[in-house]
Amino acid sequence: MNVTLMLRLPIYLDYNATTPVDPRVMEAMLPYFTEHFGNAASRSHGYGWKAEEAVDTARRQVAELIGAAAKEIVFTSGATESDNLAIKGVAEMYRSNGNHIITCRTEHKAVLDTCKALQQRGWEVTYLSPDAQGLVSAEQVEEAITENTILITIMAANNETGVLHPIGEIGRVAKRRGVLFHTDATQAAGKVPLNAEEMGVDLLSLSAHKIYGPKGIGALYVRRRDPRVRLAAQMHGGGHERNMRSGTLNVPGTVGFGEACRLAVGEMDSEPARLRELRDRLENGVFQRVEFVKRNGHPTRRLCNTSNLSFAYVEGEAIMLKMKSLAVSSGSACTSASLEPSYVLRAMGLPDDLGHSSLRFSLGRFTTQADVDYAVERIAAAIADLRDMSPLYESARETGETRDIEWASAK
């Protein structure tokens, strides 16, 4: 039998952009669209009580995923809103203490654009540059702290390369220097163990649709003690979520988010290992079939499901057009419409031509070994076809003159 006929095409390898809703999550949500449709803020009758009970359960489930208390979870519309609330909320609330924020050049646009907006309003922002492997060190962060620093915001895992920053070390620096610390853990959640207390973070952003929950629902962890973090609300109108985020709660979405977190906790011991094995199978297969391939980011300090590869002498967009049976990305989903090379890879020092030739492969819960093996075949075939038309590739093979980069050689 043709193996291709057994596969569901196109094969989805873009789980860092979004994930399908797990059927178990959908099953948990359905009653709250019709039967239990109450407003969680309506506390005068049973419909509201039922909704409130469901939200309370979800709040506990989200908290368990990150080692927090349920009362420290504030529901939002997603990680972008959570990032905005954390950064702007701290900046405005603690303005009398200082006006300096520290972040990294490889952060998600939800953080970078928020910081730039604050700069236009008078705040000062230091953008740290990562090393060639995409890492920012705790020492860099500490060196950047001034007497006016009120917030550090460094992501737990990069969405393009999967690189894992030393959040625990940075958290210890923040605590020692008395600076609030926010981390966007959207990509890390469900893939690596998270514990807000042990990591020393004061604020932490999450999004349901990255962990097999629905879109349009997220959360912000806000520390309640040692220290108690206060935020200036960015949405007003009812005082919901402890006056931090007004608006009628998305009860079905909240239920789905909670269930997604519960499943992630239950599968933490097995799923990351499975994904790591599949990711390595993908990379090894590509390295054996294709020459002049560069892995971007730290080789080991990265997410179990993410592989960012540069294929010299071809364009990433052309590769994707050549293999339409694979759903992959040339960068962040939020900037994938841009023809500019990835700002993340550029910040790591990657030349623009290699930035243009990069693809991100991100695997997930429903990725199979057959999917990976098929992907390797399609990647190798697409690169071969495109390089047959590339005079640069032909010249490189004839002269042996390639830039000083550690390439993975085809075997």
β-sheet bridge partners, residue 153: 182
CB neighbourhood size of 17 (10 A)? 20
Q: Are residues 143 and 258 both part of a single domain?
A: yes
| 283 pLDDT above the threshold of 80 | yes
For the domain that residue 286 is a member of, what is the CATH number? 3.90.1150.10
| 149 pLDDT above the threshold of 60 | yes
Q: What is the pLDDT of residues 82-100, one digit of tens each?
A: 999 999 999 999 999 999 9
- What single letter denotes the amino acid at residue 144? A
Q: What is the pLDDT of residues 315-335, one digit of tens each?
A: 999 999 999 999 999 864 444
**Residue 341 confidence class, pLDDT cut points 50, 70, 90:** confident
Q: Are residues 224 and 364 both part of a single domain?
A: no
Closest CA to 196 of 230, 221, 173: 221
Q: Are residues 256 and 317 both part of a single domain?
A: no
334 tagged catalytic = yes
- Strands (E) in 60-133, as ranges, are 73-76, 100-104, 124-128
Q: Are residues 225 and 287 both part of a single domain?
A: no
Q: Is residue 30 part of a domain?
A: yes
How much is the pLDDT for 330? 86
What are the Cα distances from residue 112, in Å, to 89, 167, 362? 15, 18, 23
What are φ and ψ of residue 26, in 5° steps? Answer: -60, -40
Q: Are residues 370 and 285 both part of a single domain?
A: yes
Q: Are residues 122 and 185 both part of a single domain?
A: yes
DSSP collapsed to 3 states, 12-37: ECECCCCCCCCHHHHHHHHHHCCCCC
Q: What range defines the domain where residue 154 resides?
A: 23-267
**Angle 99-105-108 from CA coordinates, rounded to 5°:** 95
Q: Is residue 199 part of a domain?
A: yes
Q: Are residues 56 and 174 both part of a single domain?
A: yes
* Distance in angstroms (rounded) separating the CA atoms of residues 281 and 261: 27
* Distance in angstroms (rounded) separating the CA atoms of residues 322 and 317: 9
Q: Are residues 204 and 290 both part of a single domain?
A: no
CA 270 to chain centre: 20
Q: Lowest-confidence range among 36-40, 272-276, 394-398?
A: 394-398
Q: Lowest-confidence range among 107-121, 123-137, 389-403?
A: 389-403
Asked which of 252, 267, 282 is the last residue of a domain, the reply is: 267
Q: Is residue 246 part of a domain?
A: yes
Contact in structure between 137 and 166 (CB atoms under 8 Å):
yes
CA neighbours within 13 Å on the CB side: how many for 51? 23
How much is the pLDDT for 1? 40
Buried b (16+ CB within 10 A) or exposed e, 79-96: bbbbbbbbbbbbbebbee
**Residue 230 confidence class, pLDDT cut points 50, 70, 90:** very high
Q: Are residues 240 and 348 both part of a single domain?
A: no
| 176 pLDDT above the threshold of 60 | yes
Q: Is residue 411 part of a domain?
A: no
How much is the pLDDT for 222? 98
What are φ and ψ of residue 189, in 5° steps? Answer: -60, 130
Per-residue tokens: 226: 């040692």
Q: Are residues 158 and 46 both part of a single domain?
A: yes
In the block, tokens 């932490």 appear at 204
Q: Are residues 210 and 144 both part of a single domain?
A: yes
* Distance in angstroms (rounded) separating the CA atoms of residues 156 and 301: 11
Q: Report the predicted TM-score, pTM, of the whole model to 2 decimal places.
A: 0.94
Asked which of 218, 252, 267 is the last residue of a domain, the reply is: 267
Asked which of 221, 243, 267 is the last residue of a domain, the reply is: 267
Q: Is residue 408 part of a domain?
A: no
* Distance in angstroms (rounded) separating the CA atoms of residues 180 and 203: 8
Q: Is residue 407 part of a domain?
A: no
Q: Are residues 297 and 203 both part of a single domain?
A: no
For the domain that residue 215 is a member of, what is the CATH number? 3.40.640.10
Q: Is residue 280 part of a domain?
A: yes
Structural domain total, the chain? 2
Buried b (16+ CB within 10 A) or exposed e, 307-332: bbbbbbbbbbebbbebbeebebbbbb
